[in-house]
Amino acid sequence: MATAVLALERVSKVYRLAGGASLTALRDASAVVGGGRAVAVIGRSGSGKSTLLHLAAGIDQPTSGRVELLGRDLGSLSDRERTLARRQAVGLVFQFFHLLPHLTVLDNVLLPALVAGERPSAREGRARELLERVGLGERAGEAVQRLSGGEMQRVAICRALLRRPRLLLADEPTGNLDEENGLRVMELLLGLSRDEGSALVYVTHSRELAALADEVWRIHSGVLEAA
C-alpha cells in the first residue's frame, strides 16, 4: 500500500442519524490508485460517491478501515496534520466552482498558495503557465465573474493544480456545465493530470465521461466495485 498515491483498506463509513438510526454510506471498500492513473466513480445519487472523496481527502474519517495517502494512514493523524497533508498533496475540484468573485482570474488560481502561508508571488509564474495551458492566459487580470461557466471551471482546475498535488479529487466537475463544455473540461482535466503525473479520482453521472478514465469504480448502496 505504501507505493500507492491513495489506498483504501476495508473502509466503512456509518453516519449516526437522529433517533438512534444509522446510515452506511460506504461498506468495506478496498481500492488502490497509482500515480498518474485516472479513476472515474459512478453510481446513483446518495450511493456514497462524495463520501468516498471526502475520506480520500481526509475531510472525513472512516468508521472502520484505513485510508492511506502516499503511504500515511490519515486516521492516525490529528486534524491539523490531515489539513496539512491535504494542502500539500491533494487538489480539489468541485461542481460549483467556488471561485471568489471579487478577485481576478490570476488571484483565484493563487489562493492555495495564500492559504498555505506562501508568498503568492512565488507561485505566480506557475499560475500563469497553467492559465496559458487552458487558454486563459490573456484573461489573467480580468474579474472572474466575467467568465463563462466552462471558463470558470478551467480556472478552478488551474487552482487545484497550482501546488503540484499528487492526487486530484473532482466531485462532478462537469455537473454544472452543458454537454459540450463538460466534455471539453473533462478532457482538459484528464490531460493536465496526466501531464502533471497526478492521480485523478473523479465522480460523474455520465458514462461517456467515465469511459475516458483508465478505470471505472461503481458504488451501489455503499458497496464499491470495479465496473
Count CB neighbours of 11 within 10 A. 25
All three cell numbers of 90, joined, read: 491533494
User: Which pLDDT belongs to residue 161?
Assistant: 93
Q: Quote the pLDDT of residue 3.
A: 65
CATH numbers and ranges of domains, the chain: 6-102+164-226 (3.40.50.300)
pLDDT of residue 19: 81
Nearest to 131 by CA among 168, 159, 169, 95: 159
pLDDT for res 227? 57
Walking along the chain (227 residues) 10 residues at a time, the average pLDDT comes out as 81 88 91 94 85 93 95 93 92 88 95 90 94 93 92 92 94 86 88 91 92 94 82
Given this model, what pLDDT does residue 180 score? 85
